[in-house]
Amino acid sequence: MFSCHALGPLLPVEGTLNSCAYLSIIANQVHPYIATVYPENDGVFQQDNATCHLSKIVRAWFEEHDEEFQLLPWPPNSPDLKPCENLWEHLDRHIRQKDPPPRNLHELRDALLFSWSQMPVVTFQTHIEFMTRHLDVVLAARGGYSGYEIGGHNNVTRLCN
């Protein structure tokens, strides 16, 4: 998780992420992170429309904590609105440059955790700043295709420069 203020921990999940596992992450990892980074209760949390994010127990938890931070409503079919996708692309590039590459899941997990911990502040701040401009493009397109592709030729680096 990350914000414009700080890069939080990368939280590897083993197996399938179901509602109970997601709620545990939200309650035990995300909530304390947001409370620390946004002590004035002015943080905004963004999640997509994955099934585990929309479950009854998860929605109830967010309703109980609605005064502590804002849950950003997520438009359907909007994968290009996730700033985290840019960070995954950044991590992917770093891992693919490793020589030798990770040989198993344990090595991959360690490499991802290390690369995440070494990410410069400017990297995730740039992605967040880009999203503000990108939202304007999406709004101008009335929610339609924005021309932005994760990992494609129209990437965040070109649009931010």
The dihedral through the CA atoms of 49, 61, 13, 113 has a sign that is positive
Instruction: Give the model's pLDDT for residue 75.
Output: 74
Residue 102 pLDDT: 93
In this prediction, residue 161 carries a pLDDT of 29
pTM over 0.85? The answer is: no
- CA 161 to each of CA 121, 155, 157: distance values in angstroms, whole numbers, following the listed order: 17, 11, 6
Over the stretch 24-67, which tens digit does the pLDDT of each residue have?
A: 999 999 999 999 988 998 888 888 888 999 999 999 999 999 99
SS (H, E, C) the chain: CECCCCECCCCCCCCCCCHHHHHHHHHHHHHHHHHHHCCCCCEEEECCCCHHHCCHHHHHHHHHCCCCEEEECCCCCCHHHCHHHHHHHHHHHHHHCCCCCCCCHHHHHHHHHHHHHCCCHHHHHHHHHHHHHHHHHHHHCCCCCCCCCCCCCCCHHHHHC
| Domain regions of the chain by residue span | 2-158
Fold of 2-158: Nucleotidyltransferase; domain 5 (3.30.420)
Q: What is the mean pLDDT of the chain?
A: 82
